[in-house]
């Protein structure tokens, strides 16, 4: 395994252990709810957001344990968003990460509550992280609430739902993704940086540029992976027909255009890390990983 592969595995192990510890209950009447929460959080997932939080904290000289709460909070919000996105009222999906979705494995009411609980837990964990200064915790709560709420992820989901059946142009597609997926990726970077408790406003600004570039690159690559898997299942013509009907980057730019955009964003992200020199190795590698991943 490469050095970076080992780093990813170590981060995944760290956050999985931390989340599993946090998501236990001794109350028998709450066991079904906690079981649904653990099922949704611990059944797979690349853990890109926690990795960004850890890598950012480390780039600023903070030890990984300082970023445990930040990493867990962003992953909890991400897990809640996937549970709710899969519900019949939204995407109505039966499978997530190759397993039955939460409302199929449990039931719809439990899935709604599991998502609600994860959202609340994210903020509870941040508020209770007494190893961090009170003003750091307050700022982290503000950053995460803004990213998750109506001018962030929830707003992006609303734009997406409101545009069903419409042909979106490139600026509208970008706006939707900057809210829906980009906002939480940006928060992962910001929370990791704040957890170091030694980040300047200038460094936060540079990391914001990095995060915006990788956030969009993440979505472009996600669209590319979707088209490539449709094409390998349905064949080239049907895959291309399906691709044209969805508001995606390959539909608007062609597959080669989308690949070029993802790479341009990757390079812009890496450029934004210049002030951090060698300290940002993991963040550079994560930018490469986000664009080169095939899953």
The site for ligand GRG (CB under 6 A) is made up of: 45-46, 48, 81-82, 84-85, 90, 97, 153-154, 157, 180-181, 222
**What is the token pair recorded at 223?**
């669209």
Residue closer to ligand GRG (CB basis): 46 or 139: 46
Q: How many helices (H) and strands (E) does the chain have?
A: 14, 2
CB of 40 to ligand GRG, least distance (A): 10
Residue closer to ligand GRG (CB basis): 48 or 217: 48
CB of 90 to ligand GRG, least distance (A): 6
Residue closer to ligand GRG (CB basis): 180 or 284: 180
d(CA 172, CA 190): 25
Residue closer to ligand GRG (CB basis): 182 or 239: 182
Do 96 and 79 contact (CB within 8 A), yes or no? no
Do 62 and 105 contact (CB within 8 A), yes or no? no
CB of 134 to ligand GRG, least distance (A): 29
CB of 46 to ligand GRG, least distance (A): 3
Partner residues linked to 99 by β-bridges: 96
**What is the token pair recorded at 114?**
């599991």
d(CA 227, CA 232): 9
Structural Rg of the chain based on CA atoms: 19
């Amino acid at each position: 395994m490469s050095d970076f592969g080992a780093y990813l595995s170590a981060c995944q192990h760290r956050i999985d252990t931390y989340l599993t510890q946090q998501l236990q209950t001794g109350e028998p009447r709450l066991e079904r709810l906690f079981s649904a929460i653990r099922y949704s959080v611990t059944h797979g997932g690349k853990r890109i957001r926690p990795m960004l939080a850890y890598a950012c904290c480390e780039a600023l000289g903070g030890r990984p344990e300082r970023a445990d709460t930040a990493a867990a909070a962003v992953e909890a919000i991400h897990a809640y968003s996937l549970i709710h996105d899969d519900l019949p009222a939204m995407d109505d999906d039966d499978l997530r990460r190759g397993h039955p979705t939460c409302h199929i494995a449990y039931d719809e009411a439990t899935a709604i509550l599991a998502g609600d609980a994860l959202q609340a837990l994210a903020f509870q964990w941040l508020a209770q992280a007494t190893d961090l200064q009170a003003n750091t915790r307050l700022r982290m709560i503000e950053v995460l609430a803004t990213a998750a709420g109506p001018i962030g992820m929830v707003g992006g989901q609303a734009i997406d739902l409101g545009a069903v059946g419409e042909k979106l142009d490139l600026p509208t597609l970008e706006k939707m993704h900057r809210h829906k997926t980009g906002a939480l990726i940006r928060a992962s970077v910001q929370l990791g940086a704040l957890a170091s408790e030694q980040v300047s406003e200038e460094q936060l600004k540079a990391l914001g540029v990095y995060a915006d570039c990788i956030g969009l690159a993440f979505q472009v690559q996600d669209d590319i992976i979707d088209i490539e898997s449709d094409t390998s299942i349905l064949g080239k013509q049907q895959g291309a027909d399906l691709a044209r009907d969805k508001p995606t980057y390959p539909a608007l730019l062609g597959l080669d255009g989308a690949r070029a955009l993802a790479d341009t964003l990757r390079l812009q992200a890496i450029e934004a890390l210049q002030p951090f020199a060698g300290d940002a190795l993991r963040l550079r590698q994560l930018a490469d990983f986000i664009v080169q991943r095939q899953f």
